[in-house]
Amino acid sequence: MKLGRSLFLKIFLWFGAALLTVVVGTFLVGELLRPEPFHPPMRRPLDAAVNGYARVAAEIYERDGHAALAEYFDRVEREAHIRLFLFDPQLHELAGRRTPGGASDLAQHAFLSHATEFADYGPPGLVAQPVTSTKSAQYVLVAELPMERRSAPLWDHLLHLLAIIAVAGLFCYWLARYLTAPVTKLRAATQELARGNLSARVAPAFGNRRDELAALAKDFDQMAEQIETLVNGQRRLLGDISHELRSPLARLNVALELARQRAGAEAATALQRIEREAETLNEMIGQLLALTRLESHTEAVEKTSFDLVQLVREIVDDADYEARNRNRLVQLEAPTACNIFGNEQLLRRAIENVVRNAVQYTAPETAVEVKLACSDQAVITVRDHGAGVPAETLDKLFRAFYRVDEARDRNSGGTGLGLAIAERAVRLHGGTVEAANASTGGLAVTIVLPLNADKK
């Protein structure tokens, strides 16, 4: 999913950078333009509020005394979260409340200046408002502003900014996931289709989406359905034709035997050639039928547990016996045992096709090397010492009827079905088969098989 992660990261970073720019810009502009509580334009409403508290406090004190004043201050603190203190000219706090540091000094300044004073020293957030009562008595009301009205420290601003960035990051993550998830699902379905799973569909995974990506998923499913119909029709046609050819081929063999009995010696060479071609045709039809059955899964695959080492050793012994007549060898390197759960006949045909193909193309006086490794999975490597194949054709070797150009003559090339049958049989067991040119020359085919695939 490398492409999906890359697209997700790009979208996430793009939206994240855009949101971060907006958030930081808004924060900086707000900090630059935010008025201080003791400076215009915040001074005017603050002065009016404190002046109103001062007049009410002086009136309550002169009319009802200390207890009523303390009760009024408590009510203001509960409702407005502002602490109030009333001082007389002798700097006595008339409500009997404990004053914050610097409050009496600020009250003294207000008595002397007869104007509103703000605490530019000591604890911030103090405002002193002188007031004259209806009885011409002089008082000073000191108000301690709530924390939110004070200038917050830099650390509080940074925490606020980090919280906004975290929320923005979560939003960007969700948005990136929303945009890239459909692309990832579509790519996974495309890979399934490329691996031969023609039933791969993606539209159901999109749910109730109604955007362009959902329309693309529906188009993909229509394309996949059309491809599946065409390929299945081709397979059925190929299987039917191969099956129908068996009958005339059998009659041809009977006619050939009759012709050999009646003809003279001068026709023996021609009849032998006809027989060889009939055998080749019969072999090709058998391989076509086998390939059709593997691709269409028309037959149930019965799996049992058996020793893969013994199976490979039998294949190597048979191939080596035939290879020695052509001045070649087949050598095996394998552990003592390797138990696997699968269909023994299908795997025999698959491995045998790969080994015989290697014997066909390895150079004279060389050996085909067969190695079997067994751990959590079985790995079979078949390496010849031939000319290899062009790099651009490696992924085409397991296609039906595909043959490299240099191997198209009948003496060196087969029918082009052996490796295709091997690939289908290995894939039916949940394994993989790959071909690569060896660094020192020749072709190496690697078969990887799970030891207990689909074991019930």
Q: Is residue 153 helix, strand or coil? A: coil
pLDDT in tens, 41-76: 445 666 778 888 889 998 999 898 999 999 999 998
**Residue 76 and residue 53 in contact, taking contact as beta carbons nearer than 8 Å:** yes
Catalytic (active site) residue 39: no
Condensed to tens digits (0 to 9), the pLDDT of residues 130-155 reads 999 888 889 999 998 765 444 455 56
Count how many Cα atoms sit within 13 Å of the Cα of residue 25 in the half-sphere of its side chain: 6
Report residue 136 as tokens: 């011409």
In this prediction, residue 156 has a pLDDT band, given cuts at 50, 70 and 90, of: low
Q: Write out the E strands in 114-223.
A: 117-118, 126-132, 138-144
Strand pairing report for 443-450 and 126-132: unpaired
Please give the Cα distance from 400 to 421 (Å, whole number).
8
Task: Tell me: pLDDT of 293 over 80.
Answer: no
* Alpha carbon distance 45, 52 (integer Å): 11
CA-closest candidate to residue 238, choices 284, 307, 184, 170: 284
Answer for the pair 111, 140: CB distance below 8 angstroms, yes or no.
Answer: yes
**Options 243, 297, 385, 429, the catalytic residue:** 243
How does pLDDT run across 234-291, given as a tens digit for each residue?
Answer: 667 666 666 666 677 777 777 777 777 777 677 777 777 777 777 767 666 666 666 6
Q: What is the DSSP string of 174-194?
A: HHHHHHHHHHHHHHHHHHHHH
Contact 386/315 with Cβ under 8 angstroms?
no
CB 319 within 8 A of CB 330: yes
Calpha distance 270→253 (Å, rounded): 14
Contact present, 385 and 367 (Cβ < 8 Å): yes
Burial class (CB in 10 A: 0-12, 13-18, 19+), 187: middle
**176: pLDDT strictly greater than 60:** yes
Other C-beta atoms within 10 Å of 73: how many?
Answer: 23
Residue that wins the pLDDT comparison between 160 and 203:
203
Compute the half-sphere exposure of residue 372: CA atoms within 13 Å on the CB side of its CA.
Answer: 25
This model's pTM is above 0.85: no
Q: Please say if the pLDDT value at position 210 is more than 80.
A: no
Gap between the Cα atoms of 245 and 276, Å rounded: 17
* Structural contact between residues 429 and 347, judged by C-beta atoms closer than 8 angstroms: yes
When pLDDT is averaged across residues 366-370 and rounded to a whole number, the result is 92
Beta strands, E only, 51-94: 83-87
Q: What is the mean pLDDT of the chain?
A: 78
pLDDT at 28 over 60: no
Residue 271: which H helix or E strand, with range? helix 268-296
The contacts of residue 453 (CB under 8 Å, 6+ apart) are 341, 342, 429, 430, 431
Would you say 93 and 150 are in contact if contact means Cβ atoms under 8 Å apart?
no
| 176 neighbors 19 (Cβ within 8 angstroms) | no
Query: pLDDT at residue 341 above 80?
Result: yes
Of residues 5 and 389, more confidently modeled:
389
pLDDT above 80 (res 17) = no
Residue 57: closest CA among 131, 146, 135, 136: 131
Task: Check whether the bond before 41 is cis (ω within 30° of 0).
Answer: yes
Residue 435: both structure tokens together? 């071909």
